[in-house]
Amino acid sequence: MKFQGREAAQIENEHLRVTVVAAGGHLAEILHKKSGINPLWQPPWEGMDPAAFDPSRHTQYGKGPESKLLAGILGHNLCLDIFGPTSVEEAKAGLTDHGEGSVAAYTLTASAAEIHAVSQFPLAGLRFERTIRLVEHSPSVRVSETVENLLSFDRPIAWTQHVTLGPPFLENGVTQFRHNGARSQVFGPPDFGQSDLLAGAEFTWPNAPQRDGGSVDLSTFPANSPAARFTTHLMDPDSDQAFFTASHPKLGFSIGYRWQRSDFPWLGIWEESRSRPNAPWNGQTVACGLEFGVSPFPETRRATVDRGRLFGVPTYRWLPAHGSLHVEYSIAEEFEG
């Protein structure tokens, strides 16, 4: 089957329809049948298969190592083995922002209730597998992932689930967020879009310090545009489980992810509300990323390794030579009314 013109696999039960695209492996849709809502982000621009991307021809997606990613991005994408931009040298070698995980071709196989996705990342020297399974008679999904190191040396990796929400579920001044983060910090670059937050400031969720000396409640998506923010949150070290939920009170609808804190100790929250004038954003995009992973901030590989730790917790994870790592997490949707 096809989803927005791209090859895809789909599974469904009486509650949900789940769609995964082969190009980039994105979890593009978790449609709640009763409400007709897919909370995951569908960009306002027409996408394409990243394999066909040509930077000299497809300038509508912008310029630089992010453009290939933006050409095909949908919903929940995988950041592996970097979370953030490439270095100049990595870009010249062919890497894209957030790594190969979001632009590689995946082989998809589907049964009645399960999608299995496999890909190999030749530039990074990784093999990746993901299994997505619908829970019988339930509006919930179970996901398992394995990443294998094909190289003969231990290596530091970033590994983030970039879950992005979009309209109509994401609405300015309405959509609300909860999580069990224990310590929080604003992303450091002072020129991060048109952010109103104080760069580098530590705070206790949900009240974040602003540049003007005030504070803002981050538990509700910004009411005003343009707005741009990125904050990171260390998941509660006294809990084995970590989670976030996002809800739209007017729709009576919510989505939540739950995972092992030891697998992914960080949750980054990226808020974009019509702040980016350049292509393909064009001052029109409303999106919110709830990005749980092994790294707190979207940084280059060198910056992630140089940072080392934040709040005493590592900012990357070691993948042994010819070894593998395995994680599992769950997704649930609910609709009241």
pLDDT in tens, 57-83: 999 999 999 999 999 999 999 999 999
Which pLDDT belongs to residue 331?
Answer: 98
pTM over 0.85: yes
Q: Quick one: pLDDT band at residue 336, thresholds 50, 70, 90?
A: confident
Between CA 266 and CA 183 the distance in angstroms is 10
Those residues whose C-beta lies under 8 Å from the C-beta of residue 60, and which sit 6 or more positions away, are: 45, 279, 280
As a whole number, mean pLDDT of residues 95-117 equals 97
Task: Report the DSSP pairing between strands 114-121 and 107-110.
Answer: antiparallel
Q: Do 108 and 116 meet the contact criterion of CB atoms below 8 Å apart? A: yes
Q: Structural domain boundaries of the chain? A: 2-335
CA distances from 124 to 151, 166, 263 (A): 9, 30, 21
Q: What percent of the chain has pLDDT over 90?
A: 97
Q: What percent of the chain has pLDDT over 70?
A: 99
Q: Closest Cα partner for 264 from 189, 161, 190, 168?
A: 161
Structure tokens belonging to residue 157? 């990796």
270 HSE (CA, 13 A, CB side): 24
What fold does the segment set 2-335 form as a domain?
Answer: Beta-galactosidase; Chain A, domain 5 (2.70.98)
Which pLDDT belongs to residue 337?
Answer: 59
Which pLDDT belongs to residue 335?
Answer: 87
Structure tokens belonging to residue 232? 């990171």
